[in-house]
Amino acid sequence: MSALGHYLEEEGIASVAISLIRPQTENTRPPRALWVPFELGRPFGPPGDAAFQKRVLLAALRLLERNDGPVLIEDSPDDDPRSRPDPAWRPPLPETEADGPPQVLAQRLEPEIASLRQAHARWRERHGYSTIGLSGFSPAEGGRYIAGWLRGEAPASPRKGYSAPLLLRFAIDDLKAYYLEAASGTGGKPSSRQLGDWFWNGTAAGAGLHALRAMYQGSDDDRLKLIAGNFTVPAARQNQPA
C-alpha cells in the first residue's frame, strides 16, 4: 500500500497510509504515513473501541493537511489502551504444554476446540457477531482440516475454486479468531499480549501452528511454502520453539 500511494499521488489523489511496521514504511517511503504501535492485524487499535479507532483514523487523515513532505512518517500519539494486562482476566482453558510432535498436537487440537464452545458462545452473544467464516468451516470442521495437515495428510480442498494451501490459510485465520474471541468472552479486558501469550504459549492450537510452519516452510509447493512461512505464525512469535 505504501508503494501504491505514489501512483495515486501521480494521478492527483492524496493518500495516507497506516503503518504497523515502521522500518518497512521507512524503506518504502510512502507520501504520508501514521505509524501505530498496535498488534499486527489491528491498525486502528483494539476491536470494540469505536471512539479510540476514530481517534486513530482522524490522526491519519490530518496528515493530509500537512505540507512538509514529500515523505512524511508521523508517530501515533496514542498507545494501545489494552496494552496493560488485566489481572482479573482468566483464560477459558488451563494452559497446556505447548509442545509435542505434530501427530500428538493434532490429537489434542480437536477436543481443545470443542472445550472452547461455551466461551465462544458467550462472546458471540455479547457482541452479536463473529469474525469467523473466511474458510466456510465451522470451528470443528476447521480443526479437523488443520489436524489433517499436522498428520502430514495434505487433505484436499472441499471448496471449489480454493486450492488446499489457500483453504489452509483461511482455516488458520478462523482458528485464531475462534480462540481469541473465546478468550475475550470470559470476562475482564485482557490485553493483546495476554491473549497472544495464552494462545501461542498455552494451547495445542498455538503449538500446532508452530509445527505447521516448521513442517511446510520448506515445501516444494510454492503456495504452501509461502503460506507456511508467512501466514501461520506472526514474526514476533517465530522465535519460539515449535
Alpha helices in the chain (DSSP H): 2-10, 22-28, 50-61, 102-115, 117-127, 139-150, 164-183, 192-202, 204-216, 222-230
Q: Cα 13–19–25 angle (5° rounding)?
A: 85
| Three-class DSSP category at 73 | strand
Q: What is the average pLDDT score of the chain?
A: 87
Identify whether the C-beta of residue 35 lies closer than 8 Å to the C-beta of residue 76.
yes
Give the model's pLDDT for residue 49.
82
Q: Once rounded to an integer, what is the mean pLDDT over residues 180-196?
A: 85
% of the chain at pLDDT higher than 70 = 94
Q: 21 or 151: which carries more pLDDT confidence?
A: 151
Average pLDDT over residues 176-198: 87
**Listed range (16-30, 109-123, 221-235) with the worst mean pLDDT:** 16-30
Placement of cell 471512539 in the chain: 51
**What is the C-alpha separation between 65 and 77, in angstroms, rounded?**
17
Q: How far apart are CA 157 and CA 137, in angstroms?
A: 11
Q: How confident is the model at residue 241 (pLDDT cuts 50, 70, 90)?
A: very low
3-class SS of residue 70 = coil
Grid coordinates given for 139: 470451528
- Residue 33 phi/psi, 5-degree rounding, is -155, 145
Global pTM reads 0.75
Higher pLDDT, 49 or 155: 155
pLDDT at 61 over 70: yes
pLDDT of residue 2: 65
How far is Cα 204 from Cα 14, in angstroms, rounded to an integer? 46
Q: What pLDDT score does 98 carry?
A: 66
Q: Give the pLDDT confidence of 74-133 residue by residue, as tens digits.
A: 888 777 776 678 888 999 987 776 678 999 999 999 999 999 999 999 999 988 999 999
**Res 185: pLDDT:** 85
Question: What pLDDT shows up at residue 213?
Answer: 95
